[in-house]
Amino acid sequence: MTDQPVIEIKNLHKAYGALEVLKGVDIVARRGDVVSLIGSSGSGKSTLLRCCNLLEDSQQGDVLFKGEPVAWKGIAHARRPSDPKQVLRIRTNLSMVFQQFNLWAHMTILQNVMEAPVTVLRRDPAEVESAARGYLDKVGIGDKCDVYPAQLSGGQQQRAAIARGLCMEPEALLFDEPTSALDPELEQEVVRVIKDLAAEGRTMLIVTHDMKLAADVSDHVVFLHQGLIEEQGVPDQLFGAPKSERLRGFLSSTHAA
């Protein structure tokens, strides 16, 4: 079935102790969809992304990858995934790009990009090296293979992190505020790469504070407010004619910032 979602979240609830962060959220990303999650700090955007990738355990609801539901054991705060092999398979197919790059300081950029496909997926190092060099070229830093992260600008480090995610050959890319740690001119380098990936038809879930990026690359935008979806739709509708008073207020505050 070609229209089967790559990622599907149904009625997801997540709490830290008594603090409810997600209160029943549904998200669907089909192959080639770019879905952006927007909302104020603390609205649950990054937590939702981490629950998708099983970096966080949710207390209720379903997480499905290509139609396959995550198997759970236990309930409420004791709920955990029950199949470690399934978790590894899902995580390796949903590459996460973090706000703070998370590159290994003691490895060159090429080694950073090659590490997971070689050690986790047991791929042939020569093939992985060829692919890694290709992805570093694709993100515009092919000449930086042999340098270390500390020798790169923030924008270059984030592009290296994107190349690392691509080298896993994932079904989808998950971006958690990929530009928020960057100066405006470096931010544009990363935005260009994300736009190129969107134009290629890659499936992406993007948590972003950059409304222009969300408007430019998304097929679907979700506005989260206090752990619930307040409004969602195509970018033209959400940004051009928001229905919710809360979304109107949020957008006017981001324009003013």
Residues 6+ apart with CB under 8 A from 17: none
Q: What is the 3-state secondary structure (H, E, C) of 172-228?
A: EEEEECCCCCCCHHHHHHHHHHHHHHHHCCCCEEEECCCHHHHHHHCCEEEEEECCE
Radius of gyration of the chain (CA): 18
The pLDDT score that the predictor gives to residue 111 is 98
pLDDT value at position 256? Answer: 57
Tell me how far CA of residue 44 lies from CA of 15, 19, 31, 72, 177, in angstroms.
10, 11, 24, 22, 13
Nearest-angstrom CA–CA distance, 20 and 211: 26
- Domains of the chain by range and CATH? 7-100+173-256 (3.40.50.300)
Q: To 5 degrees, how large is the angle CA 54–CA 199–CA 12? A: 25
The pLDDT of residue 257: 53
Count of CB atoms situated within 10 Å of the CB of 105: 8
pTM (global) more than 0.85:
yes
For the chain, what percent of residues have pLDDT higher than 90?
Answer: 92
Give residue 1's pLDDT: 42
Which sign, positive or negative, has the C-alpha torsion 223, 250, 196, 100? Answer: negative
CA distance 60 to 42: 20
| Residues of the chain falling short of pLDDT 70 | 1-2, 256-257
Q: What is the pLDDT of residue 2?
A: 57
Indicate the residue type of 15.
A
